[in-house]
Every structure is written in C-alpha cells, then in structure tokens.
Amino acid sequence: MLTVVIVIHILVCLGLIVAILLHSGKGSGLSPSISGSLSTFAGTTLIEKYLDRITIGLSIVFAVTTIILVIYLK
C-alpha cells in the first residue's frame, strides 16, 4: 500500500512540475507556442484553460497523497 502511494505521489509531483512550467507567465510561456491560434472569448487559449484544470487536479491529488503519507508514516 505504501509503495503504491509513494509511486503515485512521485508521478503527481513530476506532472505538477511540468504543468506549472507550461503555464504562461506575464505574456510568455510554453502554452501559447503549443496552442497556436485557438482562443476563447476571454482571450486565454483553450490549452491554458485545460492546463489550469489539470494543475488544480494534480494539486488536489498531491495534497491527498501527502496527507496519506503523513498519516501512514506517523
């Protein structure tokens, strides 16, 4: 059980790092170069919108696995 949680935690950590690095900063970043001309009505790209959702989901899984590891290793 512990090994499974640790593996999930490591994969989520790597995914979270990649997702954060793909976010655009103050007008630059990697996501505009990937998305091309896909835009939504708010001015943000479609990929940026989904990238936000992925980052939030990974953050929640990261928090849950961290709590599980703290409780299990206590």
Q: In the prediction, which pLDDT does 47 show?
A: 83
Q: In the prediction, which pLDDT does 8 show?
A: 97
pLDDT digits (tens, 9 = 90+) for 25-41: 765 555 555 555 555 45
Residue 72's CB is within 10 A of a number of other CB atoms, namely: 11
Task: Specify if 8 maps to a domain.
Answer: yes
Q: In the prediction, which pLDDT does 74 show?
A: 87
Domain that holds residue 9: 1-18+42-74
Task: Specify if 3 maps to a domain.
Answer: yes
Task: Specify if 34 maps to a domain.
Answer: no
Task: Specify if 52 maps to a domain.
Answer: yes
Burial 23-40 (b: 16+ CB within 10 A, else e): ebeeeeeebeeebeeeee
Task: Specify if 56 maps to a domain.
Answer: yes
Task: Specify if 46 maps to a domain.
Answer: yes
- Is the confidence at residue 18, as pLDDT, over 60? yes
Q: Who has greater pLDDT, 47 or 20?
A: 20
Structural domain count, the chain: 1
